[in-house]
Structures are given as C-alpha cells and as structure tokens.
Amino acid sequence: MSFSKPNASAATRTKNRTPNDRTPASGMCSVCVDDCPGICEIGKSAFRAAENLYPQPFGIITAGADKDYPVDFSHLNIMGTAVGAVGIEADSDKAIFENVNTETRLGKDKGIKLRLPIMIPGLGSTNVAKTHWNGLAIGSSISGTGLTIGENVGGMDVNTRLENGKITHCPDLEYRVKTFQEWQKDGYGVIVMQENVEDGRLGVLEYGINKLGVQAVEMKWGQGAKDIGGEVKINSLEKARLLRDRGYIVLPDPYDTNVAAVFGKAFKEFERHSRVGMVNE
C-alpha cells in the first residue's frame, strides 16, 4: 500500500489522464497512451526537465506534500479527569478555562518568555514570506509567541551592504526584526534568526545580534525532511549574477555567455540554491 501520490499534484500543476486508474508505485496512468499531451509530472518533465519539479506559481504559494500517513492527530484524544483538578485548585469558581496559564520560558537562563508555547518556523527569502511579514510579525508579537526569520534574507536583499564580505546593513532584516520588536508587550515573544552556510559566510548572525538586538538564533544543518539547501527562482539576470557574486549556487551559470543570450527566451528563471550545512564544519 502506498501512502504517497506520485506523478500528479496541484503543487506542480500536473494530473493524471485517468485519475481513478493509476499505478500506486509510480503514479502513472494504468494505460499510458502515446498521444497524451503530457499532463502528468513524467510527461511535463520530458519537455521541461527538472524545472517541472518546482511548485508553481512561484512567489505566491506555500506548498505541502499530500502524503496520506496512516496515523495523524485525529487518532488521538486528550482526556480530562472526572475527579479533582490538575494544575489549579480544585475549586469550581477557579478551575475554569479562562484561568489556564500557557506561559513558558526558554533559554539557558529561562530569560525568553512566551505567552503560548508556539514557535513559527523559518520564513526566509521567499516572496510569499516577505509579502506577508507584517501580519506574521505583528500577530506573533502581540500573541507573545516565537517567530523565526529564515535563511538567505540578508544575501537576497539587493540593498544589503557588505564590507570585507560581511553584512554591515540589510534593510530587509532590519525591517523584519523591528516590526516584531515594535509590537512586543512586557517582553513576551521572541524573534529568532536562522543561519545557513551562506548566511554564516556573510556574518548574518553577528549582524542580527550586535546591530539589531536579536536574542535567539538557529543554526541550520540540512533542510529538514528534504536534506537539500533552500531554493528560489530568480527572474533577473542582474540579480542572478549578484547572488553568484555573494557566494550562492546559481543554475544555470548567469555568467555563461550562451546562457545569458537565451535567458528570457529558452528559459525565464534561474535557480538559486543554498548549501547543506555539515555538523562537523
């Protein structure tokens, strides 16, 4: 039994010609005909190769897998007690839901205070993260939760200033941190800054801690479930070259004269990749 649904996904704008009759292991239609226009991932990738793997439309979506796990949270129940109370005095006038205390403390000295034990994970240099940052930062801050600035924000900002290869000013990072800080109440909540390989080489954490007052950091090793570095699309030759100069992997090579000549014709987007951090580095 397969828990995955390969070869067709709304994330890649693909589907099966016969969705009710498909081979579970490959996701191919049970009958693959030679005059099919190629609407599945196999068919589309025959024309556009690896380009077809990237979720679309880029910049305005957040994509998730549709793997159907055999166990999920719906299989669990939280049961209360019928006798007495836990965590509060067994008094009918006190043991009511609005008196619940969800606060917690983090850090070596427990100096980071959260009103709710919730952390929003890394939202980095993607367009969708930047577009919705105001709502995320303000909402997280006034709720007293944690919010993480993801990888590559400093390197992707075209207005970032560098001295000796290190960031000395980054408008995007400053905007993200200060938006959160301006809405904090009574010291609750925390803004976390993430660092990957390229961020480390650019001195992102040093800039965040020393210049912006960031209290918490996250060192990245790998990329969670993917075990690859982050990737975004770049639709500008000039920016692709800028990112290459800042140390990123950019494919195809924006400095290749043949690539530059067909950009905007044979293809319209470069890929910017990040390296995978190693624990022993």
pLDDT value, residue 179: 97
Instruction: Mark whether 120 and 196 lie in a shared domain.
Output: yes
Q: Is 17 part of any domain?
A: yes
Q: Is the pTM of this model over 0.75?
A: yes
In the chain, what percentage of residues exceed pLDDT 90? 68
Shared domain check, 250 and 193: no
Q: Measured between alpha carbons, how far is residue 8 from residues 43, 55, 216, 256 in Å?
A: 10, 12, 40, 34
* Residue 22 within any structural domain of the chain: yes
Domain presence at residue 145: yes
Co-location of 124 and 32 in the same domain: no
| Final residue in a domain of this structure, among 59, 76, 106 | 59
pLDDT at residue 45, as a whole number = 92
The three-state secondary structure class of 185 is: coil
Same structural domain, 201 and 273: no
Question: Given this model, what pLDDT does residue 170 score?
Answer: 98
| Pair (129, 195) in one structural domain | yes
User: Which one of 174, 198, 219 terminates a domain?
Assistant: 219
Strand, coil or helix: what is 258? helix
Structural domain count, the chain: 3
Flag residues of the chain having pLDDT under 70: 222-227
Give a yes or no: residue 166 inside a domain.
yes
| 206/241 same-domain check | no
Fill in the DSSP letter of residue 115. Answer: S
Indicate whether 184 belongs to any domain.
Answer: yes
Q: Tokens 């999920």 label which residue?
A: 72
Same domain, 146 and 214: yes
Domain-embedded: residue 169 = yes
Report the pLDDT value the prediction gives residue 139, as an integer from 0 to 100.
97
Regarding whether 148 and 235 lie in a shared domain, the answer is: no
Q: Is residue 190 part of a domain?
A: yes
**Domain-embedded: residue 251:** yes
Residue 54 and residue 145 in one domain: no
Helix (H, G, I), strand (E, B) or coil at 120: strand
Closest CA to 131 of 180, 183, 60: 60
Residue 248's domain comprises: 227-281
